[in-house]
Amino acid sequence: MIAEAAIILALLALLRKDLRSELALLEDDEIDLDEWESEATRLLARYGAAAMLAGLDTDELTPEQERLVANQVREQLPYLDKFAQEMRDSDRAAWNDDWANRAALYAGSITPIYWEGVAAIKPDQLYVFAGPDGNESCDDCQRFKTEPHTLRWFIDNDFLPTNGCALTCGGWRCEHYPAPFNP
């Protein structure tokens, strides 16, 4: 696996674990829903900053980079609010096991932040898609396995393989990631 992809995958695994742990605290009534939502927001901000730092390969963010992370977290807040409201409206006696999986999906929101950082320090590097096809690999994914572009191009055209992107598969079911193109 490409070192760049390994970094974000490791961060994603840690964030998913932390989000699931917080949800377990909620399930066990050790925290309430407002505390869970606050902690989930804090985790997204903390891991978002870590993702940007890792992508930039630096120890400190500029104010502009901090704003980028804050904006990415802010974009997730309506979705977190909706999720919390659905849990609030449900019968807590019938705990929904799918909630842990849904909570873990929010981890994916840090992926674009990481690749923004990499794109900033490697503006001319060309990338193609690598990784397994997963449950679904659309025509776009197959095309980008051989058609190189800069990360900025993938980001600006919303073709970075993350949940809800412009890829035909939506980035939901494939397991692709950008890898440096070596002709």
Rounded Cα gap, residues 95 and 85, in angstroms? 14
Rounded Cα gap, residues 161 and 119, in angstroms? 15
**Residues 110 and 128 occupy one common structural domain:** no
**Residues 103 and 126 occupy one common structural domain:** no
Question: For the chain, what percent of residues have pLDDT higher than 70?
Answer: 94
Cβ pair 112, 163 in contact under 8 A: no
Q: Which two tokens stand for residue 12?
A: 């994603």
**Residues 77 and 94 occupy one common structural domain:** yes
Cβ pair 37, 84 in contact under 8 A: yes
Cβ pair 145, 130 in contact under 8 A: yes
**Residues 12 and 92 occupy one common structural domain:** yes
For the chain, the average pLDDT equals: 89
Residue 86 has pLDDT above 90, yes or no: no
Q: Residue 171's pLDDT is what?
A: 79
Residue carrying structure tokens 């992508």: 55
Rounded Cα gap, residues 82 and 80, in angstroms? 5
**Residues 87 and 163 occupy one common structural domain:** no
Residues near 123 by Cβ (< 8 Å), separated by ≥ 6?
A: 150, 152
Question: Where a domain ends, among 93, 116, 139?
Answer: 116
**Residues 108 and 128 occupy one common structural domain:** no
Looking at residues 137-165, what average pLDDT do you find? 90
Residue 78 has pLDDT above 60, yes or no: yes
Number of domains in the chain: 2
Looking at residues 81-103, what average pLDDT do you find? 80
Q: Residue 2's pLDDT is what?
A: 67
Question: Where a domain ends, among 67, 87, 116?
Answer: 116
DSSP 147-163: S-EEHHHHHHTT-SSST
Higher pLDDT, 49 or 98: 49
Residue 140 has pLDDT above 80, yes or no: yes
**Residues 55 and 94 occupy one common structural domain:** yes
Q: Residue 34's pLDDT is what?
A: 94
Q: Residue 6's pLDDT is what?
A: 86
Q: What is the pLDDT of residues 116-134, one digit of tens each?
A: 999 999 999 999 998 887 7
Q: Residue 11's pLDDT is what?
A: 93
**Residues 109 and 128 occupy one common structural domain:** no
Q: Which of 176, 44, 58, 183 is nearest to 120 (CA)?
A: 58
Question: Where a domain ends, among 116, 138, 154?
Answer: 116
Banded pLDDT at 93 (limits 50, 70, 90): low
Domain span including residue 44: 3-116
Rounded Cα gap, residues 175 and 6, in angstroms? 13
Higher pLDDT, 96 or 39: 39
Rounded Cα gap, residues 70 and 77, in angstroms? 11
Residue 71 has pLDDT above 90, yes or no: yes
Q: How far is CA 126 from CA 5, 22, 163, 172, in A?
A: 15, 38, 22, 24
Q: Residue 157's pLDDT is what?
A: 94
